[in-house]
Amino acid sequence: MFYISMFFQYVAQYMKTRLEYRADLIVEIFSDLLFQAVNLIFILVVFDHTEFLNGWSRDEIIFIYGFFLVPYALFSSFFNIWDFNERYIVKGELDRILTRPIHSLFQIILERMELESLFGAMTGLAVMFYAGSRLGLDVSWSDPFLFVLFVMGGVLVYAGIFVMIACISFWADARTSIMPMMYNIGNYGRYPVDIYNKAIRFVLTWILPFAFVGVYPAAYFLGRDEWYGYSFLTPVIGLVFFGLSVFIWNEGVKRYRGAGN
């Protein structure tokens, strides 16, 4: 209960600060939309020149992209920890966090929220419905529930990977630039993984399971039954990776000695 009320108090504060600078907020939402549009234009232009991508049609690829945008938007709203090392370790901000009565990871998530990214979830849904209606997909009663379940799984996969990368800072103080690399790799889970070679597919499924944020769960709604097994693994992989990352985080915090000043 305490955590939930904390969450809403932070959200209220956040809204106040953001609405103070409205113009900047609008430009930021606009540049987010632009970024999503560029990826969509890429798909559209490519399919001007080809009918199928390894057996997947244009609308199916667009559908997967739309699905991907939803967990991705939730992830970027709440797990904005790409500068964890510089902000919290190098500048010693973590000392302040550790004196607070709520879990350190939760506190950081609250502090670094970027709620305007949630807008991306709406464009994602719009893209999905557009592609879905062109494909003539039926919506059954269970689909909304599975959708929420799969989206949650996807968010946890993303969050788990990025929290683990942030944890590297507890052990090695070297400034790493692995974070931007991960953002790139995350994008490859959007495309049907059967176009890559076996090694990359293995990495995207079991080591950095980004395929569970795009193609695997989306395949269920597209009725691709050869992938159903993977689709239903999504929440499991999400829980395993996120659970593991929280465990590593807690171990890391135990080791943390502070930057000292």
Partner 1 sequence: MDKYIEMIRIRFLMMLAYRTNYYTGILIYSINIGAYYFLWNAIYGEKSEIEGLSAIQMTTYVAVAWMARAFYFNNIDREMATEIKEGKVAVELIRPYSYLGMKTMQGLGEGIFRLFFFSVPGMVIVALIFPMEFSADAMTWALFAISIVLSFLINTQLNLLTGITTFFLYNNTGLIRAKRVLIDLFSGLLLPISFFPGWAQEIMGFLPFQGISYIPSMIFTNGFTGSEAVEGLMLQGAWVLILVVPTQILWVIAKKQLIIQGG
61 with 40: CB under 8 angstroms? no
Q: CB 208 → partner 1: shortest distance, Å?
A: 11
Long-range contacts of 8-13 (CB under 8 A, 24+ apart): 10/110, 10/111, 10/113, 11/113, 11/115
Q: In the complex, what is the shortest distance from the CB of residue 43 to partner 1, in angstroms, rounded to a whole number?
A: 10
Binding range to partner 1, per CB under 8 A, among 29-37, 63-71, 218-226, 236-244: 29-37
Nearest 5°: CA angle at 209, between 206 and 213? 145
Cβ neighbours of residue 69 under 8 Å, at least 6 residues apart? 36, 120, 121, 123, 124, 127
- Of 6, 10, 18, 28, the residue at the interface with partner 1 (CB under 8 A) is 28
Residues 184-213 within binding reach of partner 1 (CB under 8 A): 184-185, 187-188, 191, 195-197, 200
Which residue stretch of 19-27, 63-71, 134-142, 233-241 sits at the interface with partner 1 (rule: CB under 8 A)?
19-27
CA neighbor of 85 nearest in space, from 167, 193, 10: 167
Exactly one of 15, 98, 115, 178 binds partner 1 (CB under 8 A); which one? 178
115 is an interface residue for partner 1 by CB under 8 A: no
Using the rule CB under 8 A, is 41 a contact of partner 1? yes
Q: What is the 3-state secondary structure (H, E, C) of 191-256?
A: CCHHHCCHHHHHHHHHHCCHHHHCHHHHHHHCCCHHHHHHHHHHHHHHHHHHHHHHHHHHHHHHHC
Specify the residue, 56 or 241, whose C-beta has the smaller distance to partner 1: 56
Name the minimum Å distance from CB 136 to partner 1.
25
**Which of 4, 12, 38, 207 contacts partner 1 by CB under 8 A?**
38
Instruction: Give the orientation angle of helix 2-20 with respect to helix 22-46, to 10 degrees.
Output: 100
CA 105 to CA 170: how far, in whole Å? 13
Region of 41-49, 120-128, 225-233, 248-256 interacting with partner 1 (CB under 8 A) = 41-49
**Interface with partner 1, residue 65, by CB under 8 A:** no
- Residues in contact with partner 1 by CB under 8 A are 21, 23-24, 27-28, 30-31, 34-35, 38, 41-42, 45-46, 48-50, 52-54, 174-178, 180-181, 184-185, 187-188, 191, 195-197, 200
